[in-house]
Structure 1
Amino acid sequence: MDGTPLRILLILRAPVGGLFRHVSDLSHELAARGHQIGIVVDKLHTDALSAQRLGELSPLVTLGIHPFAIPRTAGLADLATPLAIRSLADRLKIDVLHGHGAKGGLYARLARIGSRERVALYTPHGGVLNYKPGSPVGAVFRQIERLLMGATDAIIFESAFAHRAYADQIGTPSCPAPVIHNGLMRAEFEPIVPRPDAADFVFIGEFRDVKGITYLLDALVGLRAPDGRPATLAMAGGGPDFEATRARIAELELDERVRLLGVQPARPTLELGRCEVVPSLAESLPYVILEAAAAGRPVIATDVGGVREIFGPTAASLVPAADSAALARAMQTYLDTPRIAEQEAEARLAHIRRGFSVEHMTDSIEALYRRALDARTASRRSFT
């Protein structure tokens, strides 16, 4: 297909986290290249922050933002909403349906069935891969993935880890399935300098079990700076375990050492700690580490998901997940010898610059859209 602008519908459930960050960045870049973008989002997920985020996208989403019922769990909407999205795609003359996450991917591919022109692509963002092996819901979604392969023109994996996990859990994709890493804007490669009153460490993320917060707090208890001062921590974020985290801080008598900041943007929050700590139990390719690495900040992280791909030449410093003792050792090493962590941060920044820009990400996705459309056209001609 030539360089004609495309009409693209991005489909997701909730405008939160790294998934929405990716959709937002992709929308900005595709719109800047002359493509027309529409977004489908869950009308059941309503809060002030989500409304603000979608409002910021409105000026560049020329095909509109369209709320539909997209529940997290299975239900009747899983039959009705794809039909409604298909009607919307017909009305908007959509070329590309791009689903994000488990539900977005499901609806994009169901909405593509019956169309001879448009294509459906899918980025899991963890999604179905996050279900535990014994989960009945996970088993259903994995089987649906296998059944929908024939309606899938391409699957985009944001990490090699996600690609391997998909192959292990579901099977090798029969469609094109490239790894295209998430990318950062040029401005995000500007260095960040901690404020004079910055804490020793900073955590940025959701307050829920999978983020490993309990292990972080346990690790903090015995940490001391070389001068004997107890180590400090700033924590930004919100989520279902916020109050439980507050209670755990009190139980460990860390009230004077831990600041709870609430939900904050990542880059300004990086100024509030000298070293970021990401103690996650599971991840795909977390933006919170990419952002810190691009800003040249030291990072202590667990060896989960695609984090090793971000750390590149510094991957040897990753710590095992769910191990507060190992995490404490890494944090104490930073307190004792911060210059070593700063040198690692310099090497990590050079690695990130080479392969994690939003321009490179969008180039790759845009080219995949066109290849999928070309393949669809060729297939249609072979039957005429």
Structure 2
Amino acid sequence: MVASPLPSFETSPPYRILHVFRAPVGGLFRHVVDLARLQAAAGHQVGIVCDATTGGARADQALAELAPALSLGVTRVPMRRNGHPSDLAALRAVARRAEAVGPRVLHGHGAKGGVYARLAPTGRAAIRAYTPHGGSYNYRPGTALHRLYMGAEAMLARRTDVFLFESEYVARRHRSFVGEAGGLRRIVHNGIGEAEFEPVIPAADPFDLLYVGELREAKGLPVLLEALARLRARRREVRLLMVGSGPDSEILRARAASLGLAGAVAFEPAQPIRPVLARGRIMVVPSLAESLPYVVLEAAAAGQPLVATDVGGIPEIFGPAAGDLVPPRDVGALTDAIARVLDEEPEDRRARFAALSASVKLRFSMRRMGADVLSGYAAAFQARSTPLRPLPARTGVAGTA
């Protein structure tokens, strides 16, 4: 599975596209916002259905700014993160919206959005696209939850015209645990814009380390706090800025205090990443599981020094530099990796991460992402209109095996 050749947006037929996803937060939301803008600019009619209970004021503002590009509007209904009887009401709401706007493309994002988009009844003229964003694919194989979610994915695959995987990692997980059922498969890496490759001017008195993202244990944050404690035990006066929100924020604050780090760690709410990058010398991404995180793309594009774990699609971002990644859950390896970057000669460090930025610029273009998604839609419509050909007759000598 490889990304398709880059077509011109203008040559694609106009579509009515309805994007369905749960939470208007994080990388998944950014992906949908970028796609919606690109698709609207290319002449397509675009709408969104998402959760009404998450995202807060930042989501409200982002959706308001996006509204001029959404000729099919924004519909927000309550959606739970995990399975719940209220899912039936949400599915009915998605179905009503699809019936009202008559999309040619119903595009689900993430596990919950993928369920709604693929189960909502549509006419034969519509195709169903699905972009997983890690989520259910990241559960540990063999666990009850993993078997449950992969079984659901196998059932829903038969109602999918085209899979648009954001990383080779998730595509491999799908093939291994779901199988080959369903429609076409494409890998469409997340992409970022030209402005994100502009260098960031460091702030005065920056923190030594920076984390940006959800405050969840699955992001490896207890490991990061342990690594910080070890660095300070080596008489390094290292400080950490953690920017984000999440369900484990109070647990993490308590953990920092128990490690004697109360004065060495600052917690701040979620905010735009570019100004935050200026406030840290090294970005640390200690995740235990990921798909293709935007935070790594954004930091790498800006030439920000990075220490990250070897999980999910992060090696795809690092490319030839993937050998610099560290194993997840390994406090010692993370501590040593951070120390190496801190001790590196400034010119060497700058050159190394400038090379990573240049590599990312070649491989993760926002325009390429938008074009490949439209190409995936077009291929799915083509597959719908092409009848299956009979298998060729066998040839050979009678009686041979």
Instruction: Note closer, same or farther for the CA distance 1:244–1:67 as it changes in structure 2 (3 Å cut).
Output: same
After superposition, where does 1:303-314 map in structure 2 within 5 Å?
303-314=310-321
Q: Supply the distance in 1 between the matched residues of 2:345 and 2:38 (Cα, whole angstroms).
A: 37
1:178, CA displacement in angstroms? 1.1
Aligned residue for 1:151, secondary structure, equals coil
Q: CA deviation at 1:225?
A: 12
- Aligned residue among 119, 122, 127 for 2:130: 122
Q: Deviations over 1:222-281 (max 9, x none)?
A: 42699x651222111111121222222222222332222222221111001111111111
**Alpha-carbon distance in structure 2 between the residues aligned to 1:54 and 1:101:** 18
Distance change >3 Å, CA 341–CA 317, structure 1 → 2: farther
Deviation readout 1:323-363 (Å, 9 max, x if unpaired)? 11111111111121143432221221111011101100001
Aligned to 1:194: 202
User: What residue identity is the alignment partner of 2:291?
Assistant: S
Q: 1:349 aligns with which of 353, 357, 360?
A: 357
CA distance in 2, matches of 1:356, 1:197: 32
Residues in 1 aligned to 2:225 and 2:55: alpha-carbon distance in whole angstroms: 32
Letter paired with 1:51 = D
Counterpart position of 1:172: 180
Tell me the SS of whatever aligns to 1:178.
strand
For residues 259 and 355 of structure 1, do their structure 2 counterparts lie closer, same or farther at Cα, with a shift above 3 Å needed?
same
Q: Deviations over 1:179-213 (max 9, x none)?
A: 11100011111111221311111111111111111
Q: In the alignment, which of 237, 243, 248 is matched to residue 236 of structure 1?
A: 243
Q: Establish whether residue 161 from structure 1 lines up as the match of residue 187 from structure 2.
A: no
Superposition RMSD in Å: 2.3
How does 1:284-303 map onto structure 2 within 5 Å?
A: 284-303=291-310
Counterpart mapping for 1:220-235 below 5 A: 220-223=228-231, 230-235=237-242
Alignment length (residue pairs): 379
**2:22 is aligned with 1:13:** yes
* TM-score, length of structure 2 as denominator length: 0.88
Aligned counterparts of 1:378 and 1:38: Cα–Cα separation in 2? 28
Deviates more, 1:362-371 or 1:244-253: 244-253
Counterpart of 1:177 in 2: which secondary structure?
strand
| TM-aligned CA deviation for residue 104 of structure 1 | 0.8
Aligned to 1:142: 150
The corresponding residue for 1:182 is: 190
Does the 8 Å CA contact 2:159/2:182 hold for their aligned counterparts? no
Aligned to 1:253: 260
Distance in structure 1 (CA, Å) of the matches to 2:343 and 2:55: 46
Amino acid at match of 1:198: P
Kindly report which structure 2 residues correspond to 1:67-146, keeping only aligned pairs within 5 A, or say none. 67-112=76-121, 115-146=123-154
Residues 225, 337 of structure 1: CA spacing in aligned structure 2 closer, same or farther, 3 A cutoff?
Answer: farther
| Matched residue SS, 2:317 | helix
CA distance in 2, matches of 1:78, 1:54: 23
1:235–1:99 distance in 2 versus 1, CA, 3 Å: same
Higher mean C-alpha displacement, 138-147 vs 54-63? 138-147
Whether the 8 Å CA contact 2:290–2:311 is kept in 1: the answer is yes
* Contact 2:161–2:182, Cα closer than 8 Å, also in 1: no
The structure-2 alpha-carbon separation of the partners of 1:70 and 1:261, relative to structure 1 and needing over 3 Å to count, comes to closer
CA distance in 1, matches of 2:55, 2:316: 34
Counterpart among 214, 217, 221 of residue 209 in structure 1: 217
- Which residue matches 1:335? 342
Q: Distance in 2 between matches of 1:250 and 1:73?
A: 31
- The equivalent of 1:279 in structure 2 is 286
State the alpha-carbon separation in 2 of the partners of residues 225 and 79 from structure 1.
53
Counterpart for residue 320 of structure 1: 327
Amino acid at match of 2:180: T
Please list every run of 5 or more consecutive structure 1 residues that lacks an aligned counterpart in the other structure. none
CA contact (8 A) 1:167 1:173 kept: no
- Cα distance in 2 between the residues matched to 1:178 and 1:38: 23
Q: Residue by residue, what CA displacement relative to the aligned partner does 1:280-331 show, whole Å, maximum 9, x if unpaired?
A: 1111111111000000111000101010000111111111110111111111
